[in-house]
Each structure stands twice: as C-alpha cells, then as structure tokens.
A and B are shown apart, each in its own frame.
Chain A
C-alpha cells in the first residue's frame, strides 16, 4: 500500500519560495504519476500540477510561471516549489498520485495527509 507524507515549512514570508516534499513509502516513486493540490476556503480544492513517468510536467496555467514539480528517485520522494508567494497561496497542500495503468490518469488514488502552509510576515 502506497503511503505519502508531506513535509516542509509551515510558514513562508511573502515574496519568498514555498518548498514542499512528499515522501513515498510502500512502492517506488518511479512507478506512479504524481500531483500536488491545495485547498483553501477561498478557492476550494485546486490542482497545481503533475509529473509523469517520463518526468514531463503539467501545471495549472495560473501557476505555471511560479510552480515546479520534480522527482528525487534516490530519496523516493517528489517535491513542489512555488516562487513569489503571497497571502493568496496560504492553503493546505496535498501530494497525491495515480497508478499509470489507470485508464484515466487525472484522478487521485493516493493522498498525503496534507500540510498547512501560511504565507505571512
């Protein structure tokens, strides 16, 4: 059974960079498609982007210029970097994944527990 665990700072300064990691246990990070999502009262559940088996990435257009998702195979984890953050980026951030054998690769079978990130000075 795949388990995911987010980690990173819970507080980021405005205009700074948000960096989160998602540790994968129970299987190899190389075997799945991975996404980052966030949830806030203002915007609900919001998909940030995805990295697939080849390393190709897809991002929400509104975040494309600020977001980067990457995989660290030796550490069996993947990460999210979001630059130039503002209060609008305050949210619960989730990592999630889907089995590449699924007919639909844009749903989310596995989720981390989430990590609350607050952007504030």
Chain B
C-alpha cells in the first residue's frame, strides 16, 4: 500500500494567520491527491481534489499544490471555522490510503 505521511501532526494558530500542512507519499502519485477537513463527530468533507482543484463552496483562502510525492495545503487568513483535522488521501491506486491527519486548533 502507498503510505501517506502528514506533518505536522498538530498545530495551533490564531485567526488571520497562514498555516501550511505537508503530505508526502511513499510512491509517485502524480496529482492524485485529495484533502479533507473533519470536525469532531462529523464525517470528513472534501476540500481539494487532484492536488489543487477546490471543490465548489470551499473558500478561496484555502489552496493546495504539489505533484509526485510532495504536496501542501495552505490556509491563509485563518478563520474560527477552520478548526478540525485535515487529511490527505491518495487516489492513484487501490487501496486508496489516507494520511494520519493534522489537527488544527484556533487560538
């Protein structure tokens, strides 16, 4: 299976800050990388697909980039509702696999 590794595992930031989360894959997955946000007690919600394409309704302060084995998710102008755990997921091959998550707290 392709292993997905996220860093950091957690971070705390203030409203208005910019944060960046990194996801690395153990194999080349081209641009088959998706990002999700999960809030406590809820299902994950997809934010980004194919490495950098925002899903409809996702605010423009969220951006993502990368290809191959290294990817980033950035949130600028952090808002209170941006808290939660962020997961990357590779969709290059089955079984699809997820990163372990990055928990974002808003100070």
Interface string of A89-113 (1 = CB under 8 A from B): 0000010100000111111110111
Interface size class of A (residues with CB under 8 A): 20 to 34
Contact of B89 among A107, A111, A112 (CB under 8 A): A107
B21 CB → nearest A CB, Å: 15
Tally B residues with Cβ within 8 Å of A.
22
**Chain A residues closer than 8 Å to B49, beta-carbon distance:** 102, 104, 107
**Chain A residues closer than 8 Å to B45, beta-carbon distance:** 111
Contact check, B32 vs A106: say whether CB atoms are below 8 A apart: yes
For the A-B complex, the count of residue pairs with Cβ-Cβ distances under 8 Å equals 55
Contact check, A107 vs B98: say whether CB atoms are below 8 A apart: no
**Chain B residues closer than 8 Å to A46, beta-carbon distance:** 98
Q: Compute how far the CA of A94 lies from the CA of B42 in the bound complex, rounded to whole angstroms.
A: 10
Q: A44-B100, A45-B87 are in contact. Are A106 and B42 (CB under 8 A)?
A: no
Q: Compute how far the CA of A22 lies from the CA of B33 in the bound complex, rounded to whole angstroms.
A: 26
Contact check, A45 vs B55: say whether CB atoms are below 8 A apart: no
Contact check, B97 vs A47: say whether CB atoms are below 8 A apart: yes
Q: Give B contacts to A, CB under 8 Å.
A: 32, 34, 36, 42-46, 49-50, 55, 87, 89, 91-92, 94-98, 100-101
Q: What are 27 A-B interface contacts by the 8 Å CB criterion?
A: A44-B100, A44-B101, A45-B44, A45-B87, A45-B89, A46-B98, A47-B95, A47-B96, A47-B98, A102-B49, A103-B50, A105-B91, A106-B32, A106-B92, A107-B46, A107-B49, A107-B91, A108-B34, A108-B44, A108-B46, A109-B46, A111-B43, A111-B44, A112-B43, A113-B42, A113-B43, A114-B43
